[in-house]
Amino acid sequence: MTTTTKVFEYTPGANLPPGDDPLHGELMTLNMGPQHPATHGVLRIVVTLDGERIVAIDPVVGYLHRGKEKSCETLGWHKFFPHTDRLDYVQPLMNNIGYALAIEKLAGIEVPPRAQVVRVLLMELSRVMAHLIYVASQSIDLGAVALFFYAFRQRELAYDIVDAYTGHRMNNTYVRIGGVYADVDEQVSAMAARFVEEFPLALDEFEKLLTRNRIWCDRNRDIGVIPRELAIAMSLTGPALRGSGVEWDLRRAMPYSGYESYDFDVPVGSVGDCYDRYLVRMQEMRESIKIVRQALERLQTVKGDVLAEDRRFVLPPKDKVHGSMEELIFQFKVVTDLRLPRGEAYHGIESSKGELGFFIASDGTAKPLRCHVRAPGLMNIQALPRMAEGRLFSDMVSLIGSMDFVMGEVDR
Amino acid sequence: MGIVQRKDLSLAERLYLPEVVRGLSITFRKMFEKPMTRQYPEEPLPKTEVTRGQPRLVVKDDGNVACVSCGMCEAACPAYAITIDGGETERPIEREPVRFEIDMLRCILCGFCEEACPKDAIFMSDELELADSSRGALVYDLEMLKRPKAALQKRIDYVYRLNQRWRKSSSTS
Ligand code: SF4
Ligand code: SF4
C-alpha cells in the first residue's frame, strides 16, 4: 500500500469560530483528570478553553506507569506472562497471546493446530469483551445509563466462559510459550456456543437503543473527525483507523494463528467520526462472533495437544517428571533457566484497540535484553489534540471514549 | 471489506418522543428478566476444580508435607511471594521445608508454582476469601498452608488430566 504523508500545521485556535461568545478571548486552562471518571483510568488532560470552545489540549500520560517493560528484563521470559495480563486489563488473554507469539517467532516454535484454534477463540472472545467495555463506558459517559448495565450483563456471560476455562475472571495467565495451558473442554465450548447464539440478539438490542438514537447521533456524528491521511500520519490502528476508512487489519494483512483461514469481514467507516468508530466496533463484534462460531466448529475436528512438544521452552507433563531424570532436568531448566536464542523479534497482533506489538531482544541468556510493548492506545491518544481542537468542551467525553484506550497499556 | 452503513435519521427519530417510548419498552421488558446479580457473601461463588484459588501445600496420607524444599516454586513465582528455608530430615526424602511462607498479599494466583513443582506438593485450592486486620497475618506459614491431600484431590486429578500430552517419550529418555 502506498501512502502519501502530509505534514500537518498545528496552530492552536486557528479554526475557532469568530466570537460572539462573551467569554471569547480570555483563555482558561483546565485540568481534566487524572482522577476523572470519563478519562478511563488515570489520564490527565490539560485543556485550554476559550469560553466553551477547546483551543488546545495536552494529554499527559504516565500516571499508571509501573515499569512493565523493565520488569520483563528482571523477571525473565516466562514470568512476564502475568504482567502482560495487566497491560490492557480488559483483554488479558489477547495480551498473553501477543507476547507468546513474539517469543514463538524468535524461538521458532511451531504451535500445534488445536492450540491455534483455541487461541483464535480466546482472542475473539477477548475482543468482544473489550468492545463491550467500550460501548458500556461510552454510553454511560454520554448519559445512556441503562445500556451500561445491559452491556456489562453480556460481558459477564463472556467472563463466565473465561472463568470456566481458566479459573479466573481477569488476569488469566493461561497462555504458555508454545500453546495454551489447558484444552477447551466440552463444558466450556457448550457455554461459548450458547453465548454465540444469544449475544447477537443482545447486540441488536444495543443497536436499537443507540444507533438511531437522536442524542447518541448528536453527540457522536461529525465529532472528532479524523481524515484518512491524518489517521495514517498519526499511526492510528484498530477501529480508530478503520473508522477513517482505511482497511488495515493485521488479521488480514499479516495473518497469525491461522486467521487467513477464517471467514470474516473487516468493517470500515466512511467519515471517520466518533459515530463511525462506534459502528465499526459494533460490526467487529458481530464478525468476532462469526469467527468464534467457526473456531468452535473446528474444535470438533482439529484434535491433538495444545502445547508444542519442545522441551527447551515447555514444561514436560507432570507424571513423566516423576519417572524420568531427563524430564526432571528439563523441568528445572525451563523453570529456572529458560533461554531464547540470540536475536530479536517483533510480532504485532490486532487487539481490540489496534496493533498490539511485542518487540523482544535476547542475548541468548535467561535474562531478556529488552522487551518493548507497542501499545495501540498510546498512538490513539496522540490523535486527541487534533480531534479536540475547536470543539465544545462537552465533546471531550465523546472523543476520549471513542478512542477507547486503556491506561494500563498506554503507561505500561 | 464492508463499509458500515450510516443512514440519516427519519423525522420520527428526530422528533425523539416516539423513540423514547420505543427505548422505554426495551428497558421495561428488562425488568422481567432473571437478575444476574450474585448476592456474594450469602451466595458463594461456584467453585470447581478449574478455580484457581490460593496455593496450598499437600499433606500426604502419612502426615508429612510432600514438599522437599527444592525451591522450584520459589523460582517460578513471578510475584516473589514464596520464601523457603530447607532443612534435613530423617525420612528417605532427606529434605523438608523448615520455613515455607507464601505472602498472600503478593500472590497473584497465577498457578506457576503448581506447574513448576516436581513433587506434586503445591496445588491451587479453591479457597478464595482473603481478609485479615494486619498484613503480617496474611503471610501464611507452613502450618496455615497445609491441607490434607483429600481436600485437594479434585484439583490434582484435574492437573493430571491437563498433563495428558506428548504421549510419545522424549528422544533422550
Ligand atoms: S516446588 Fe514443590 S517440592 Fe519444591 S519447594 Fe516448592 S512445593 Fe516444595
Ligand atoms: S500462585 Fe503464582 S504468585 Fe502465587 S505463590 Fe504461586 S507462583 Fe507465586
Please give the residue of chain A at the shortest CA–CA distance from B52: A167
Q: Is the ipTM of this complex over 0.85?
A: no
Contacts of B148 (CB under 8 A, 6+ apart): B59
Q: Is residue B117 helix, strand or coil?
A: coil
Residue in the block written with cell 524420568:
A324
Which residues are bridge partners to A351 per DSSP?
none
Grid coordinates in use for A53? 470552545
Residues of B in contact with A267 (CB under 8 A): 1-4
- Amino acid in position A193: A
Residue whose Cα lies nearest atom 1 of ligand 1: it is: B117
H/E stretch holding A45 = strand A44-50
Rounded to 10°, the helix A186-210/B17-30 angle is 150
C-alpha separations of A250 from A237, A281, A406, A409 in Å: 9, 16, 20, 19
Please give the residue of chain A at the shortest CA–CA distance from B164: A317
Indicate whether residue B117 lines ligand 1 (CB < 6 A).
yes
Of A218, A277, A268, A295, nearest in space to A401 by CA? A277
pLDDT of residue B171: 46
CATH number of A68-411: 1.10.645.10
- Topology annotation, domain B55-129+137-162: Alpha-Beta Plaits (3.30.70)
Distance separating alpha carbons of residues B84 and B100, to the nearest angstrom: 5
Residue whose Cα lies nearest atom 3 of ligand 1: it is: B67
List residues near ligand 2 (CB under 6 A). Answer: B 55, 76-77, 79, 81-82, 102, 107-113
Could you state, in order of their start, the residue ranges of all structural domains in chain A?
A: 68-411
Please name the member of B14, B26, B77 whose beta carbon is closest to the beta carbon of A208.
B26
Distance separating alpha carbons of residues A246 and B6, to the nearest angstrom: 17
Q: Is residue A168 helix, strand or coil?
A: coil
Q: Where is pLDDT greater, at A3 or A236?
A: A236
Can you spell out the DSSP letters for A170-234? SS---EETTEESS---HHHHHHHHHHHHHHHHHHHHHHHHHTT-HHHHHHHTTSS---HHHHHHT
3-state SS string over A236-297? CCCHHHHCCCCCCCHHHHCCCCCHHHCCCCCEECCCCCHHHHHHHHHHHHHHHHHHHHHHHH
Contacts of B35 (CB under 8 A, 6+ apart): none
Please give the residue of chain A at the shortest CA–CA distance from B27: A146
What is the per-residue pLDDT across A336-387, written as a single tens digit (0 to 9) for each?
888 888 888 999 999 888 899 999 998 888 888 888 999 898 888 888 888 8
Contacts of B134 (CB under 8 A, 6+ apart): none
pLDDT of residue A18: 56
Residue in the block written with cell 420520527:
B12
Q: Do B170 and A153 touch (CB under 8 A)?
A: no
Q: A396 burial class (0-12, 13-18, 19+ CB within 10 angstroms)?
A: buried
Cβ-contact A132, A159 below 8 angstroms: no
| Portion of chain A with pLDDT greater than 70, in percent | 94
Residues of B in contact with A179 (CB under 8 A): none
Residue A113, Cα to own-chain centre: how many angstroms? Answer: 24
pLDDT level of residue A14 (50, 70, 90 thresholds): low
pLDDT of residue A385: 86
Interchain CB contact of A332 with B (< 8 Å): yes
Grid coordinates in use for A178? 508454545
Q: How close does chain A come to B30, measured CA to CA in Å? A: 9
H/E stretch holding A156 = helix A145-166
What are the strands of the beta sheet with B95-103, ordered from one edge? Answer: B82-88, B95-103, B139-140
What is the per-residue pLDDT across A128-137, written as a single tens digit (0 to 9) for each?
999 999 999 8
- Listed as ranges, residues in chain B with pLDDT below 50 are 169-173
pLDDT of residue B169: 46
Please name the member of A173, A280, A305 whose beta carbon is closest to the beta carbon of B165.
A305
Could you state, in order of their start, the residue ranges of all structural domains in chain B?
A: 55-129+137-162
